[in-house]
Amino acid sequence: MVLHILGSCSGTEPYPGRHHTSIALETGGSLYFLDAGENCCHASYTLGLDQLRTEAVFISHTHMDHVGGLPHLLWNLRKLCTLSPENEARMRGRRVHVYLPDLQVFKAVYQMLLASEGHYQTVFQLEPHLVEDGLLCGGPLQAEAFHNLHLGEPAPGGAWRSFSFVFQAEGKKVLYSGDFGELPELLPHAKGADLLFLETGHHRACALCQELLDSGIEFGRVVFYHHGVEILQDYEGELALARRVLGDRVLFTNDGDRVEL
């Protein structure tokens, strides 16, 4: 399993050398996108990732820094099919799954695609799914969602709108936090994870490391992403503080980084 950091920044103002949150996960010969910040299509393509192997996109919540690049990514899948008969044959009859906690957003994205070239006539099919607590999909990659409190509790009768994910493949377990409220929301699902992807847009990395250590759960490496301005203004200093707690188990990510399991 390989994870490519396509965008490492939170929803700050545009920040030099960094783009909004997105990660591409490779496993079993397939490609999966975890959130879709504004540069995910360009970054994955120029990194040499084969977008025609895309099986699914998982959106943790529909804030712009997590979903702003989704229309371009889906548009480019169609574009690639027009470049050669071989590309078209590879995608013919395929389904590309898009998991979101708000299907109204998918409908809006699809309207954008319909208004672009070719009225988004494709040889493959986009298949939207509502993200809810529990197992989302199996196969080479098993994906499970659980809600968090980043957007608070829903109104009575409403639906949760912010989720974290657990991905398992090749005998490895990865927790992907999305934006979350407090660490205890994640801990029951973090136990035994080989990688913990934790956002720092709303948290201090050193504080999260201390909470993890104090929790007593077993875990592997801690990968921080979705950096906020507080982290970016003192990147090396914040990294040093986090490593005082957990040593070299801690990784701060940059755009273009590659994390391998």
Could you report the per-residue pLDDT of 234-258, keeping only the tens digit for each? 999 999 999 999 999 999 999 999 9
Share the mean pLDDT of the chain. Answer: 97
The pLDDT value given to residue 144: 98
The pLDDT value given to residue 117: 87
* Burial class (CB within 10 angstroms; exposed 0-12, middle 13-18, buried 19+) of 207: middle
Task: For domain 2-260, give the CATH number.
Answer: 3.60.15.10
The full set of domain ranges for the chain reads: 2-260
pLDDT in tens, 194-235: 999 999 999 999 999 999 999 999 999 999 999 999 899 999
* Average pLDDT, integer, range 19-34: 98
Do strands 2-7 and 22-27 pair parallel, antiparallel, or not at all (unpaired)?
antiparallel
The pLDDT value given to residue 60: 98
**3-state DSSP call for residue 4?**
strand
Which helix (DSSP H) or strand (DSSP E) does residue 110 occupy?
Answer: helix 103-114
Token code pair at residue 261: 């399991």
Q: Tell me the one-letter amino acid at 218.
A: E
Q: Tell me the one-letter amino acid at 12.
A: T
In the chain the beta strands, taken as DSSP E runs, fall at 2-7, 22-27, 30-34, 54-58, 95-100, 125-130, 134-137, 142-147, 163-169, 172-176, 193-199, 219-225, 250-252, 258-260
Do strands 30-34 and 22-27 pair parallel, antiparallel, or not at all (unpaired)?
antiparallel
Closest CA to 76 of 122, 32, 35: 122
The pLDDT value given to residue 114: 97
pLDDT in tens, 136-189: 999 899 999 999 999 999 999 999 999 999 999 999 999 999 999 999 999 999
Contact 185, 145 (CB under 8 A): no
How far apart CA 47 and CA 28 sit, in angstroms, is: 19
How far apart CA 162 and CA 149 sit, in angstroms, is: 7
Site of tokens 């490496």: 221
- Asked if residue 27 has pLDDT above 90, the reply is yes
Closest CA to 27 of 7, 3, 59, 46: 3
